Amino acid sequence: MNVFLSYILLGLSLAAPIGPVNAAQIDRGIRNGFMHSWLIGVGAVIADGIYMLVVYIGVVQFLETAIMQTFLWFFGCFVLMYTGIETFMNAGKVHLEHSRGQEPLIKSFFSGFLMSISNPLTILFWLGIYGSVLAKTAATYDTGQLVLYSSAIFIGLLLWDIAMASVASSFRKFLTSHLLVIISFLSALSLIGFGIYFGIQAFNNLFS
C-alpha cells in the first residue's frame, strides 16, 4: 500500500510544475468554471497516457527522430500561440455574472489534449521519468503490479487536475471583474511565451 501511495505522490509531483496546461486551467476555471478547467486537465492526462503507452511498448525511437521532434515543436508552437492569442482576445470580455459556461466543454478537452500531445517536453519528460520508473518497476515487480503502479501515477495526475480545477473555479468568487481580466491577460501572456519558446526550439532543430 505504501508503494502504491508513493506512485500516486509521483503522479501529483509530475503534474504540479507550472506549465501551459496549468496556466490554461487557471484561466478556464476563472472564466468558465470547474468543468471547463477539469476537462483541460483530463485532455492533458489522456495525452500523458498515450505517451506512457508509447514508452511502455518501446516505440520512442520514432519520437526521438529529428524530423518528428521538429514537427512537434512547430505544432506545439502553433497550438500554444493560438490558445494564448484567443485567451488574450477574450480576456477583456470576462464578466463575473456572464462568463461561466460560455465555451463548449469539448473545446476545453481538446485544448488540453493538443497542448500536451504536441509538447516535445512531454515526450522527454515521460521518456525520462516514466522510462526510469518502468525500468525499475519491471525489474522488481510482475506485469500486474506494473499496471497497478502505472495506474497510481494516473490517479495522482487526476487528483492534481481536480485540485487545480477546484481552486481556479472557487477563486473567482473572491475576485473582482478587473482582477479576472488581469489574470486572463497574464495566462494569455504565459501561453504565448511558451509558444515563442517552442517556436525557437523548432527553428534551432531545423537549422542546427
Q: Each residue of 10-65: pLDDT tens digit?
A: 777 767 666 778 888 888 887 788 898 999 989 998 988 888 887 777 765 666 67
Please state the domain extents for the chain. 2-12+30-207
Whole-angstrom distance, CA of residue 1 vs CA of residue 182:
44
- DSSP secondary structure letters along 30-74: HHH-HHHHHHHHHHHHHHHHHHHHHHHHT-HHHHTSHHHHHHHHH
The pLDDT, as a whole number, for residue 113 is 93
The pLDDT, as a whole number, for residue 43 is 93
pTM over 0.85: no
Q: What is the CA radius of gyration of the chain?
A: 18
Cβ(199)–Cβ(45) below 8 Å: no
Contacts of 176 (CB under 8 A, 6+ apart): 96
Per-residue DSSP letter, 154: H
